[in-house]
């Protein structure tokens, strides 16, 4: 045997043994102890979203999905976690009626948790969908983190009149007793009160007629607004629940006009009556110039573009967070978003959804750096439970300065950064999300 062959034969014999020894010692062949060779887990990690990206809420849902997608794409482009590839997995919870469907949302979460490589979900957008998803995600367990859910009872037992006693749903939403759901949006109990304070104190309105869409979000925020309004000394000549399937508000608005209100408060979404009611107000004598106040469910680009400046009264809505356009920390994000999706497709929760995805990404990195391996593949359910729980634990203790402000969570998974932005329809409804911030309220 030639001498050179002898060296080659010796190298062939010992190289596998050397590599096995290095892996056993926890050292990757690339010298990175936290790289993929440090574990036997998959180098593919999936991050999902669940939003209504078709139908009546598509303008809000798709722009939120875009924000999370951008965060995942940037993580891959910037080699955020060397040796690993992130895969973006979007889901659509819009139903055949064109509105978010809780049953579809629940099915989406079930599908996602059955893929062991899915590590967390950004969303949902709507409270009613969250109600159906939370119990399933909690038992998986898998982290849900929403930029927009505001319903008090998802995480709280207060206010007592809404979430206490027989209305306490915490054991249903958390069957394991552990927190797996997080949100960076300010709760309705603060949003409804802030809207009442704005209308009564800032605008000087005294008489408010209240309408809601008979949905979870709409009823809750309308009741909280009403309670605060009367505490401030305002009067409420009437409160009606009008189903979201209503097409004509003529009789309702005619009745409201007889009470001569200073303002109408609408609890609900643009797609569940907000747009239709406001459009039809201009046809009712005595209501054409009457202002409308509503929660974040009405603050969509679709509402702004549809209503525009039609000669009717002003519209004021709330965003359940600080508007990113008012933050220096968001300037670069807005420019990057614009380059990929266009500034006209930026909405109230694009930046928040980006931050939710970033929080999951940061938590994944922290878990891997602790030496906890990813699941081997999409069927490795045992390790998925371990890895996902570790991510949930990391999210609970996150301390993150994001594009939408500082983010951390209390023991219930609620943001500690409680803030609201009051907006009105912009002069140019084709710029940004079509809304102009006029006041930021920190609570």
In this structure, the answer to whether residues 159 and 194 fall within a common structural domain is no
Q: Note whether 300 and 270 are within 8 A (CB).
A: yes
Q: What was the pLDDT predicted at 34?
A: 45
pLDDT band with cut points at 50, 70 and 90 for residue 39: low
Query: Is 425 part of a structural domain of the chain?
Result: yes
Q: Note whether 288 and 313 are within 8 A (CB).
A: yes
pLDDT band with cut points at 50, 70 and 90 for residue 41: very high
Query: Is 62 part of a structural domain of the chain?
Result: yes
Q: For the stretch 130-145, what's the b/e string if a residue is b when 16 or more beta carbons lie within 10 angstroms of its beta carbon?
A: bbbbbbbbbebbbbbb
Distance between CA atoms of 150 and 220, rounded to whole angstroms?
Answer: 10
Q: What was the pLDDT predicted at 432?
A: 73
In this structure, the answer to whether residues 45 and 177 fall within a common structural domain is yes
The DSSP symbol for 215 reads S
In this structure, the answer to whether residues 213 and 299 fall within a common structural domain is yes
Query: Is 111 part of a structural domain of the chain?
Result: yes
Q: What was the pLDDT predicted at 314?
A: 97
Model confidence at 20: pLDDT above 70: no
Q: What was the pLDDT predicted at 21?
A: 40
**Rg (the chain; Cα; Å):** 25
pLDDT band with cut points at 50, 70 and 90 for residue 154: very high
Distance between CA atoms of 195 and 318, rounded to whole angstroms?
Answer: 7
Query: Is 298 part of a structural domain of the chain?
Result: yes
In this structure, the answer to whether residues 136 and 169 fall within a common structural domain is yes
Q: For the stretch 366-386, what's the b/e string if a residue is b when 16 or more beta carbons lie within 10 angstroms of its beta carbon?
A: bbbeeebbbbbeeebeebbbe
Model confidence at 235: pLDDT above 90: yes
Interstrand relation of 239-241 and 263-267 (parallel, antiparallel or unpaired): unpaired
CA distances from 423 to 26, 92, 324, 438, 440 (A): 54, 28, 13, 5, 9
Query: What pLDDT, in 10s, does the model give residues 94-121?
Result: 999 888 999 999 999 999 999 999 999 9
Query: Is 332 part of a structural domain of the chain?
Result: no
Model confidence at 22: pLDDT above 80: no
Q: What was the pLDDT predicted at 346?
A: 87
CATH assignment of the domain containing 207: 3.40.50.2300
3 state SS of 308: coil
Q: What was the pLDDT predicted at 11?
A: 38
pLDDT band with cut points at 50, 70 and 90 for residue 159: confident
Query: Is 343 part of a structural domain of the chain?
Result: no
Give residue 271's domain range.
189-322+421-442
Backbone φ and ψ of 32, nearest 5°: -105, 110
3 state SS of 430: coil
The DSSP symbol for 199 reads I
Retrieve residue 356's tokens. 């939710």
Higher-confidence position of 282 and 39: 282
Query: Is 229 part of a structural domain of the chain?
Result: yes
**Range from 75-89, 133-147, 184-198 carrying the lowest mean pLDDT:** 184-198
Higher-confidence position of 301 and 125: 125
In this structure, the answer to whether residues 238 and 294 fall within a common structural domain is yes
In this structure, the answer to whether residues 200 and 278 fall within a common structural domain is yes
In this structure, the answer to whether residues 77 and 213 fall within a common structural domain is no
Distance between CA atoms of 79 and 300, rounded to whole angstroms?
Answer: 34
Q: What was the pLDDT predicted at 40?
A: 82
In this structure, the answer to whether residues 212 and 317 fall within a common structural domain is yes
pLDDT band with cut points at 50, 70 and 90 for residue 216: confident
Q: Note whether 387 and 367 are within 8 A (CB).
A: yes
Across the chain, mean pLDDT equals: 90
Query: What pLDDT, in 10s, does the model give residues 329-341?
Result: 899 999 999 999 9
Section 6-11 average pLDDT: 40
Section 301-308 average pLDDT: 92
Q: Note whether 267 and 294 are within 8 A (CB).
A: yes
High-pLDDT (> 90) share of the chain, % = 79
Q: What was the pLDDT predicted at 340?
A: 98
Query: What pLDDT, in 10s, does the model give residues 263-296?
Result: 999 999 998 999 999 999 999 999 999 999 999 9
Query: Is 85 part of a structural domain of the chain?
Result: yes
Q: What was the pLDDT predicted at 5?
A: 41
Model confidence at 367: pLDDT above 70: yes
For the chain, the domain total comes to 3
In this structure, the answer to whether residues 52 and 110 fall within a common structural domain is yes
pLDDT band with cut points at 50, 70 and 90 for residue 176: very high
pLDDT band with cut points at 50, 70 and 90 for residue 300: confident
Distance between CA atoms of 35 and 40, rounded to whole angstroms?
Answer: 11
Distance between CA atoms of 291 and 314, rounded to whole angstroms?
Answer: 5
In this structure, the answer to whether residues 89 and 180 fall within a common structural domain is yes
Section 28-50 average pLDDT: 67
Tell me how crowded residue 202 is: count the other CB atoms within 10 A of its CB: 13
Q: Note whether 140 and 113 are within 8 A (CB).
A: yes
In this structure, the answer to whether residues 275 and 361 fall within a common structural domain is no
Q: How many residues does the chain have?
A: 443
Could you write out the DSSP letters of every residue in 158-173? -SHHHHSGGG--HHHH
Model confidence at 37: pLDDT above 60: no
In this structure, the answer to whether residues 206 and 279 fall within a common structural domain is yes
Q: What was the pLDDT predicted at 33?
A: 42
Query: What pLDDT, in 10s, does the model give residues 184-208?
Result: 999 988 999 999 999 999 999 999 9
């Amino acid at each position: 045997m030639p001498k050179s062959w002898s060296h080659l034969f010796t190298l062939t014999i010992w190289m596998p043994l050397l590599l096995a020894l290095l892996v056993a010692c926890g050292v990757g062949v690339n010298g990175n102890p936290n790289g993929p060779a440090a574990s036997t887990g998959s180098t593919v990690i999936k991050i999902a979203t669940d939003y209504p990206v078709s139908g009546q809420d598509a303008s809000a849902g798709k722009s939120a999905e875009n924000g999370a997608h951008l965060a995942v794409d940037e993580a891959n482009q910037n080699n955020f976690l060397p040796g690993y590839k992130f895969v973006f997995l979007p889901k659509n919870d819009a139903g055949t009626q064109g509105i978010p469907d809780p049953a579809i949302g629940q099915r989406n979460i079930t599908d996602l948790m059955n893929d062991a490589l899915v590590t967390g979900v950004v969303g949902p957008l709507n409270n009613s969908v969250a109600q159906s998803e939370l119990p399933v995600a909690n038992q998986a367990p898998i982290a849900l983190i929403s930029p927009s859910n505001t319903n008090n009872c998802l995480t709280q037992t207060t206010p007592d009149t809404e979430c206490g006693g027989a209305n306490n749903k915490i054991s249903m939403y958390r069957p394991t007793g552990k927190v797996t759901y997080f949100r960076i949006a300010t709760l309705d109990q603060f949003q409804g009160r802030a809207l009442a304070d704005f209308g009564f104190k800032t605008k000087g309105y005294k008489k408010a007629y209240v309408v809601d869409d008979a949905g979870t979000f709409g009823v809750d925020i309308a009741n909280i607004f009403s309670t605060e309004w009367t505490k401030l000394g305002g009067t409420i000549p009437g409160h009606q629940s009008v189903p979201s399937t209503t097409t004509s508000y003529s009789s309702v608005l005619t009745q409201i006009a007889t009470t001569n209100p200073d303002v109408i408060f609408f609890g609900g979404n643009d797609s569940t009556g907000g747009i239709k009611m406001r459009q039809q107000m201009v046809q009712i004598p005595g209501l054409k110039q009457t202002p409308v106040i509503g929660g974040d469910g009405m603050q969509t680009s679709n509402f702004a573009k549809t209503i525009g400046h039609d000669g009717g009264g002003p519209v004021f809505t709330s965003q359940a967070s600080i508007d990113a356009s008012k933050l220096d920390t968001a300037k670069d994000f807005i420019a990057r978003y614009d380059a990929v999706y266009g500034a006209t497709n930026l909405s109230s929760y694009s930046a928040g959804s980006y931050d939710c995805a970033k929080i999951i990404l940061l938590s994944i990195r922290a878990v891997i750096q602790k030496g906890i391996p990813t699941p081997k593949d999409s069927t490795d359910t045992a390790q998925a439970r371990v890895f996902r729980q570790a991510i949930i634990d990391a999210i609970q203790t996150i301390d993150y300065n994001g594009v939408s402000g500082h983010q951390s969570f209390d023991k219930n998974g609620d943001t500690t950064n409680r803030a609201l932005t009051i907006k009105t329809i912009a002069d140019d409804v084709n710029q940004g999300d079509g809304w102009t911030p006029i006041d930021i309220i920190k609570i």
